Structure 1
Amino acid sequence: MKFLFALAISVSVVLPSVQAAKEVFAHVIVGNVRSLDNADWEDNIKLAQEAKIDAFVLNIAQGDEGNEASLQTIFQVAESLNFKLFFSFDYKALGAWPKEDVIDHITRFGASPAYFKTDDDKLFVSTFEGPDNAGDWADIKATTNSFFVPDWSSQGPVVAAGLADGVADGLFSFDAWPNGDTNITIKSDLEYQDALGDRAYMMAISPWFYTNLDNPDFTKNWLWRGDELWDTRWAQVMEVNPDFVEILTWNDYGESHYIGPVREKELGLFDTSAPIPYVENMSHDGWRKFLPFYIEQYKTGAAPTEFEERVAAYYRTAPALACPDGGTTGNNADFNEVEQPPQDFNEDAVFYGALLTSDEGVTVTVKIGENEQTGTFTTFPASGAGTAGVYRGSVPFGGNSGDVVVTVSRDGQVVATAEGGKPLGATCEFDIQNWNAVAV
């Protein structure tokens, strides 16, 4: 778990009314988008719609002077494209939100047809932290007719569920990354569901995590294991069966867990706060490829039978020991984790996944520069080999460098190809290692 837990307490709660369920959202850092115009937002929203994402969660920091103009633009475009939005009030970035300002934002923007509502017409609202202000939310909910699902992960599931006499209608957990060099489990998710009982649980999914930033406000330089994380987590959604899923994130470039496009105008943070431009030309578009399948499977409880067969791949762009680690640690002691060398967390390998109706007669080739390897599948759909779903595997870098091309063929005929990402280098591009990944 990525947060310090307070002691558990027993509380009585009032259960919420019926909410919309089986919806998938993507977290948007509004502080990163002040340079985006209508055309950029049209592109963002159309990409999200193609991926079958239901809404953007707009993370807004208290007092950010760019909020108003950005929100006006986003809501205007969302209305024109029939897309949904809702707020996540950030209580950490620039401090706590005054209750009156929260009410004002929900009231004004909640009147938009683009604001996401539950089935019983309540305005969906979330937070990033803010447990010290839990007492504000009884009044906020009553005044705005809102359905409240905060992230109070720092408190742990039991304490968070009981804050302010159980004011939350559900909880969102930011616990989307594993602790250590093994894959993530669903232990934390089940603890949240147990603590919440009949209240809603919103589960977090993220593809990666690496950050290396240093400015007067914060210093952060660590990674969590990303190998196999994205597809593993979507498989876990089927086990947990949460009420909602929130993708972390659409555009948090500073922590390398974006699935939206990389736009140069959103990367100003790297001009002043990062030792290397670890997001530049590092596309994560490949992590959206299977979303229509995953989301339909989550919503219906069964693998879709009709879909376009596809392949996706991701990899870091240099071997782990090609240059100094940049002071990056695997894990972060601030979260009560044992720090380890970063190379222990991510393999020097090209990871690939194929969305197939069946793996019968299928072969995988991974070409790195002029070297071609034959891949195998090591992870299969829950229903087993020969069935529809995502098949996964990897091949090692093996000392090779150059363009990466992953091809899936069936009976000698090409089914799909993943290519076009930043080349894999034999040495690192900068004077320290870039622990971010490319996904194509």
Structure 2
Amino acid sequence: MRLSSAAWVLCAAQTLLPGALAKAVFAHYMVGSVTEAHAHQDIDDAVAMGLDGFVLNTGDPKPYYVKNNFDYMFNYTRDKYGGKFWLFLSIDIQTPGLTNEYTDIFREFKDHDAYYKGPNGRSFLSTFDSKALTNVHWQSFLNKFANSTYFVPDFDDTLGYYEASIGWWKYWGSIVDGLFSWESAWPPAVSGLGGAYPGDIGLDKIVQDGATARGKTYMIALSPLQYKNSYGNNYYRPGDLNLPRRMAGILGMSPSPDFVEIITWNDGPESHYIGTIWPEPNDNKQAAVYTPPGLAAPHTAWQPLITSFINAFKSNLSATAMTPATGDAVGALWYKPIMQNTKCANESLGGFYAKPAGFNKTTDQLNWAIVLPPGAEGYTVRLYTGNSTKIHEEVLVGGLNFNATSGGLRVGEQSMDLLLNGKVVQTAKKGRSISDNCPDGIYNMNPQVVGLRAVTG
């Protein structure tokens, strides 16, 4: 990593002092019936890529595995990564009105040594939307903990939120310490909440300005896409260059957000995972068609790019100053596994077999991002489609580079080469081939993500 001594001191201070107003990057983590060994591996992997912690999304705190999961995640974090990695609760109410179900688990863990504390030294607490509950209801819930919470909810389902209206702040302002926005992470599938285009941060700016004006913090979302074809849903929210564009946009915001929440570490059914998809908590048969556990559709190749983003975010650097953590170039190629002209035989059955809402919001294209050391010269990227046809070539510069091909995509293997002074030094290949004959029986929009690797021999 090419950081100055001052930057290293800043990063260390942010890591060791969660009670200070320090920038931090977390990943949304779906709490499920994962084994202890797999949960520990998730923590190890997250620490290795530079994350500050997991946001433990808890839909129902009553099943036995939730308490077990919290026990071995919190204790492992404290014992192995004390002061370097943190955990905190995000309430995702499944039964309207039942915030009381979260009282015991929050009370038990909020003072744990591994529990993340906000700038006021209080226990950080978040939510997945308001669940149509009133300000009085939420205040009553918070009162149970004697002003010991730092409350940063996702209340973007409430009227006036994305306008930062005076009425919204009059109604909610007294109970929130900061805000987190979920829906602004992507464009909408068809209509509704979301950015104007992949990577747009316009809505976040409005919300953050409202929060900043009132002395509140802001946690912004960073996510590659949202494709869900399970649990009665079938929609696609791009996608494409959403991830690198939001990276660049976030790094260019002034003032900078206080926190970033990556959506997500392990939500297989929504396709925006960057960590490992383990078999035990991902047993939905429909989701398994497009997000099979194991190595069929890994997204971990996005991690080195995000590591570079994390370092830049904490050091208040722009996207053009992003640096690969290892000193060598890092990058990834990603693409959906089917062509737009694909015809699936069972489409007429609808539901799971139909084209997802938002299907036509993308095109046949290869998306890529590469981070080079600042000042790097002599680098070029080449992309190939249909096994060997060159479709794109571009000269690269230091920092974050990203783009997408325009036209000419063919079925077959897709690949990307990184060249230095005309010689291939890294390549991304051997992802699943693109098809036009519906190999999964559905319109699968979960992308293949292939990382750059050094060329040997």
TM range (shorter): 0.7 to 0.9
| Percent of aligned pairs with the same amino acid | 27
Question: Which residue of the other structure, out of 143, 151, 168, is the alignment partner of 2:154?
Answer: 151
Superposed CA offset, 1:121-176 (max 9, x none): 21111111234332324414525x11110111101244554445521001111121
Q: Find the counterpart in structure 2 of residue 125 from structure 1.
A: 125
Amino acid of the structure 2 residue aligned with 1:149 = V
One-letter amino acid matched to 2:342: A
CA drift of 1:76 comes to 2.4
1:37 to 19, 31, 35: 35
Distance 1:433 1:268, change over 3 A: same
Aligned to 2:328: 308
The question of 1:49 aligning with 2:47 is answered yes
Aligned mate of 2:414, from 385, 404, 407: 404
Read off the aligned partner of 1:352 and give its amino acid letter: W
Given the superposition, is the C-alpha separation of residues 98 and 354 from structure 1 closer, same or farther in structure 2, using an over 3 Å criterion? closer
Q: Which residue of 1 aligns with 2:10?
A: none
Cα deviation for residue 374 of structure 1 reads: 5.1
Matches within 5 A, 1:265-280: 265-269=280-284, 271=285, 273-274=286-287, 277-280=289-292
Counterpart position of 1:356:
372
Aligned residues: 392
In 2: Cα distance, 1:399 partner to 1:232 partner: 22
Structure 2 partner of 1:169: 177
Q: CA 1:160 to 1:116, structure 2 compared with 1: closer, same or farther past 3 Å?
A: farther
How far apart in 2 are the matches of 1:89 and 1:69?
Answer: 17
Partner amino acid, structure 1, of 2:354 = G
Look up the match of 2:209. Answer: 194
> SS of 2:70's equivalent?
helix
**2:306 aligned with 1:291:** yes
Question: Secondary structure of the residue that 1:347 maps to in structure 2?
Answer: coil
- Give secondary structure in 2 for the equivalent of 1:277: helix
**8 Å contact 1:408–1:415 — kept in the other structure?**
yes
Aligned partner (choices 233, 245, 260) of residue 232 of structure 1:
245
In the alignment, which residue of structure 2 is the partner of 1:347?
363
Residue of structure 1 equivalent to 2:222: 205
Q: Distance in 2 between matches of 1:80 and 1:397?
A: 52
Q: TM-score, normalised by structure 2?
A: 0.79
Where 1:171 maps in the other structure, the secondary structure is strand
Alignment TM-score, normalising by the size of structure 1: 0.82
- Structure 2 distance, partners of 1:374, 1:126, is 44
**Equivalent residue number for residue 90 of structure 1:** 92
User: In structure 1, how many angstroms separate the alpha carbons of the residues matched to 2:418 and 2:173?
Assistant: 54
Mind listing any 5+ residue stretches in structure 1 that lack a counterpart?
1-17, 332-341, 379-384
Moved over 6 A (4+): none
CA distance in 2, matches of 1:418, 1:140: 52
Residue 11 of structure 1 is matched in structure 2 by none
For 1:107 and 1:439, how far apart are their aligned partners in 2? Answer: 40
Q: Which moved more, 1:359-368 or 1:68-77?
A: 359-368
Tell me the distance in 1 between the aligned counterparts of 2:394 and 2:263.
27
Letter of the 2:311 counterpart? E
| Distance (whole Å) between structure 2 residues aligned to residue 395 and residue 62 of structure 1 | 43
Q: Which amino acid aligns with 2:437?
A: T
Partners of 1:402 and 1:374 lie apart in 2 by 13
Q: Secondary structure at the match of 1:266?
A: coil
Q: What SS class does the counterpart of residue 322 from structure 1 fall into?
A: coil
Higher RCO, 1 or 2 (CA under 8 Å, sep at least 6)? 1
Once the two structures are superposed, what CA deviation does each residue of 1:344-400 show, in whole Å capped at 9, x if it has no partner? 21221111111112563222222345323152349xxxxxx74x2111123357453
State the distance in 1 between where 2:429 and 2:387 align. 14
- Counterpart contact for 1:376–1:393, Cα < 8 Å: no
- Tell me, yes or no, if the aligned pair for 1:253 and 1:267 is still in contact at 8 Å: yes
Determine if contact 1:51/1:292 at 8 Å carries over to the other structure: yes
Asked if 2 retains the 8 angstrom alpha-carbon contact of 1:311 and 1:417, the reply is no
Q: For residue 294 of structure 1, report the CA deviation from its aligned partner.
A: 0.5
**Alpha-carbon spacing, 1:190–1:164, altered in 2? closer, same or farther (3 Å):** closer
2: CA distance between counterparts of 1:305 and 1:423?
Answer: 31
- The alignment partner of 1:142 has SS state of coil
Distance 1:252 1:424, change over 3 A: same
Letter in 2 for 1:146: T
Tell me the distance in 2 between the aligned counterparts of 1:39 and 1:413. Answer: 42
Structure 2: 5+ residue stretches without partners: 1-18, 191-195, 348-352, 451-457
Asked if structure 1 preserves the Cα contact closer than 8 Å seen for 2:365 and 2:409, the reply is no
- C-alpha contact (below 8 Å) 1:310/1:415 kept by paired residues: no
Q: Within 2, Cα distance between the matches of 1:248 and 1:364?
A: 28
Please tell me the residue identity of whatever aligns with 1:429.
P
